[in-house]
Amino acid sequence: MGKKGKAAKKGGGPRAPAARLSPQQLYEQAQLALQFDDFDAARTALRKAVKLDPSNIECMDALGALLAEVGPEEEAVQVLRQAVSLSPDAGYEKYLYLGQLMETAAEAVAATRKGVQLLQAQHAATQAASSPDAAVLGRALAGALCSLSEMLMASSGAGAGAEAGAGAAGSSGGGGVAAVAEEAEGLLALAASVDPESPEPGQALAALRNEQGRAAEALKVQEDDRVPDAWHLLALAYYSGHQYAEAAEVLAKGQALLKAMGAGPKDEITQVFADLQSAIKEALELAQPGQQGGPGEPQCS
**pLDDT for the residue numbered 213:** 65
The answer to whether 239 and 216 are in contact (CB under 8 A) is no
**pLDDT for the residue numbered 29:** 96
**pLDDT for the residue numbered 140:** 96
* AA identity, residue 153: M
- In tens, the pLDDT along 103-112 reads 999 999 999 9
The answer to whether 192 and 222 are in contact (CB under 8 A) is yes
- Indicate yes or no: pTM above 0.75: no
The answer, yes or no, to whether residue 301 has pLDDT greater than 70, is: no
| Domain membership of residue 183 as a residue range | 110-214
**If you average pLDDT over residues 57-68, what whole number do you get?**
97
Domain identity same for 132 and 204: yes
How many structural domains are present in the chain? 3
The answer to whether 239 and 247 are in contact (CB under 8 A) is yes
Provide the pLDDT confidence category of residue 161 given band limits of 50, 70 and 90: very low
Provide the pLDDT confidence category of residue 114 given band limits of 50, 70 and 90: very high
Q: Which of 38, 58, 88 is the last residue of a domain?
A: 88
Domain identity same for 114 and 202: yes
Q: Which of 214, 239, 274 is the last residue of a domain?
A: 214
- In tens, the pLDDT along 30-40 reads 999 999 999 99
Lowest mean pLDDT among 1-10, 47-56, 66-75: 1-10
Between CA 5 and CA 8 the distance in angstroms is 9
**If you average pLDDT over residues 221-243, what whole number do you get?**
70
Total residues found in the chain within this entry: 301
Q: Which of 184, 214, 244 is the last residue of a domain?
A: 214
In a domain, 250, yes or no: yes
Look over the chain and give the mean of its residue pLDDT values, rounded to a whole number.
80
Domain identity same for 44 and 74: yes
Nearest alpha-carbon partner for 242 in 202, 214, 262, 274: 214
String of b and e for 236-256 (b: at least 16 CB within 10 Å)?
A: bbbbbbbbbebbbebbebbbe
Domain identity same for 83 and 149: no
Q: What is the dihedral of CA 211, 160, 243, 186, to 10 degrees?
A: -60
**If you average pLDDT over residues 285-294, what whole number do you get?**
60
In a domain, 154, yes or no: yes
**If you average pLDDT over residues 171-200, what whole number do you get?**
74
Provide the pLDDT confidence category of residue 186 given band limits of 50, 70 and 90: confident
DSSP string covering 204-223: HHHHHHHHHT-TTTT-----
3 state SS for 125-168: HHHHCCCCHHHHHHHHHHHHHHHHHHHHHHHHCCCHHHHHHHHH
